[in-house]
Amino acid sequence: MRYSLIFFLLLLTGFAWGQDAHKIHFDAILVDTHNDFLSKAVDDQKVFDTNLKGITHSDLARMFKGGVKVQMFSIFCDDQFGKGSAFKKANQELDSLFAIVARNPKSMQMVYSYGELMKAVKNHRLACMAGVEGGHMIEDNLDYLDSFYRRGVRYMTLTWNNSTSWATSAADESRKAFLVTPYGLTEVGKQVVRKMNDMGMMIDVSHIGEKTFWDAMAITSKPVLASHSSVYALCPFYRNLKDDQIKAIAKNGGVIQVNFYSGFLDSNYFKNINAFLKSHEDERDSLQALHLPPYLIIDYFSKKYTQDFDHMRAPLSLLLDHIDYIVKLVGVDYVGLGSDFDGIESAPQGLDGVEDYPKITEGLLKRGYSEKDIKKILGGNFLRVFKANDKYH
Ligand SMILES: [Zn+2]
């Protein structure tokens, strides 16, 4: 009898906890600053406003199910695109975003300022903005920056994995040969940063090399954004942020939006992937012969060998560890969420797509975070940075 009473009380507490988490989650303004769905729309003809469960991480209905209020869609093309093609490709993705929003005027809205964003949230519409993931898409032409801004781009990652003529990437700076002449941000690069500051386009420090990072931090007049970056101390991958970088972003009043990719959270992930690739050497070699970049080769295997890849997913607790680490290092005001959904082949266990965001709130509540702090992490911190950058707020 007594045991059943204890069991009943435990059940009740658990239920209350779930209720609390649910209320906090759906009251909060949940912002995600990096979703790559537009690449799926343009390259794979996936339609956002249809049911894509089991196919992609995101679709419109699941955004609402997951409580997402603000989505920054990544505009992305890799380094196979350059002068004469990268800007065009970026605009195709923007066109696709406009088309999706135009088809769904009651549930989605492009927003261009902090004020519009808050109004869209109040009207229960998914507030949509874009972020250009890689400075190569301006093709060394500052006028293209103006064009992007007018079309709703509110951040630009100074580089993707490829360096531009004016900024070096983390991938390039991590290569030994490159360290002989690290150039960081050139004079043109500094012009780009100043122009972005003046326009109200956030400087995104994800993907950029350390030299570029410190050069940008020295001149930016506004708080910066790391739209999708995790913690180097917990997972020493070249494009994760080191402690001194995290401290500098906090000092600048910026925000680090933690990336969900298993490979950036869990230092075992790439060891496991490499062992897997070794055991599928012939297949890998035939893909390499087609000159596919490594990230597309891993993507191919992840779709074919779903069970193997399922076992390699990082635990959800590790994502929370990355958030905890930043909070312990610099405080709760400088961390948020930058999922990288639909740009990664592996998200943590339990996070199958955007519908699973509530699990993060549950996890944070269980770790003792207050409602106020959880709301900061889910979006409040980002909104502070966006407002500080937005000249129309
Ligand atoms: Zn990225």
CA of 12 to the centre of ligand 1 (A): 42
CA of 168 to the centre of ligand 1 (A): 15
Compute the average pLDDT of residues 299-317: 93
Residue 2 predicted with pLDDT over 90: no
For residue 109, the cross-strand partners are: 127
Read off the tokens for 176.
Answer: 């030994």
CA of 83 to the centre of ligand 1 (A): 20
For residues 297 and 279, give the distance between their C-alpha atoms in angstroms, rounded to a whole number: 14
Predicted confidence at residue 391, as pLDDT, reads 87
What do you get for the CA distance between the two ends of the chain, in Å?
60
Predicted confidence at residue 180, as pLDDT, reads 47
Read off the tokens for 142.
Answer: 């500052």
CA of 3 to the centre of ligand 1 (A): 51
Provide the percentage of residues in the chain whose pLDDT is more than 90. Answer: 86
Surface-to-core class of residue 281, CB atoms within 10 Å of its CB (0-12 exposed, 13-18 middle, 19+ buried): exposed
CA of 209 to the centre of ligand 1 (A): 13
CA of 76 to the centre of ligand 1 (A): 8
Maximum CA pair distance of the chain? 76
CA of 135 to the centre of ligand 1 (A): 12
Q: Mean pLDDT of all residues in the chain?
A: 94
Predicted confidence at residue 19, as pLDDT, reads 74
CA of 230 to the centre of ligand 1 (A): 11
Confidence class of residue 13 from pLDDT cuts 50, 70 and 90? low
Q: How long a stretch of residues is the chain?
A: 393
pLDDT tens digits, residue range 79-127? 999 999 999 999 999 999 999 999 999 999 999 999 999 999 999 999 9
Prediction pTM value: 0.93
pLDDT tens digits, residue range 148-178? 999 999 999 999 999 999 999 999 998 866 6
Predicted confidence at residue 109, as pLDDT, reads 98
Predicted confidence at residue 5, as pLDDT, reads 61
pLDDT tens digits, residue range 326-337? 999 999 999 999
Residue 11 predicted with pLDDT over 60: no
pLDDT tens digits, residue range 48-69? 999 999 999 999 999 999 999 9
Which tops the pLDDT comparison, 3 or 191? 191
Read off the tokens for 338.
Answer: 């930058």
CA of 11 to the centre of ligand 1 (A): 41
CA of 106 to the centre of ligand 1 (A): 30
